[in-house]
Amino acid sequence: MPPKHVGEELRELVKSVRYKLISGISVSPDHSVGETTMFPEAYFQTLQSYPDLENVLGDGIYASRWITDLVSKTHLTPYFLPKSNVTFQSKGFAGWYDMLFSLWDDPQRWLEQYHMRSISETVNSMVKCRFGATLRKKLDPRKATETKLKLVAHDIRRIGYIETLYDIKPQWPRNRV
């Protein structure tokens, strides 16, 4: 029986809730790395693409002290659903306390923001439906390239929709050589 992750690439994506665009990508063929390890790379790519970002949404895997602190240090509000047994003890990570206090202070508003995450999760489904889940390439660098190309193709397709639906003309940066 083949290993569970054959033909799959571990990827970390940061997605826009409003336009369903992928703004940060981190890809690894090594499944022992884990999503939280790849979060900072994808997150900082997103900050470069979207300097006016307001909130950062994620599921419970990102509800760790160091990730909430990383997000808070960039002056954004983290919305990561904490586990049921967490405490307010920040253990040196101020972002942890800020996130839990905002949940405690106004749970309805906090959950309203958090549940916007489900909109961004549709991006995963859109990519999987359009391009399939299994990778065709065998070598790790080529798997990473195939994964990134699928995600870039998704963004190009979405930009076409955005131009039509919202009458927005994207401003492409031009590098003069």
How many CA atoms lie less than 13 Å away from 5 in the CB half-sphere? 10
Residue-level pLDDT at 111: 93
Assigned token pair, 138: 């065998």
Query: What secondary structure does DSSP assign to 124-168, as a single string?
Result: HHHHHHHH-SS----SHHHHHHHHHHHHHHHHHHHHHHHHHHH--
Residue-level pLDDT at 177: 58
Query: Three-state SS for 88?
Result: coil
The residue ranges of the chain whose pLDDT is under 50 are 1-3, 5-7
- The pTM of the full predicted model, rounded to 2 decimals, is 0.78
Contact between residue 148 and residue 25 where contact means Cβ atoms under 8 Å apart: yes
Domain limits of the chain?
A: 10-166
Strands of the chain, DSSP E: 10-15, 22-28, 55-58, 77-80
61-99 per-position pLDDT tens digit: 888 999 999 999 999 989 998 988 888 887 878 889 889
Residue-level pLDDT at 50: 84
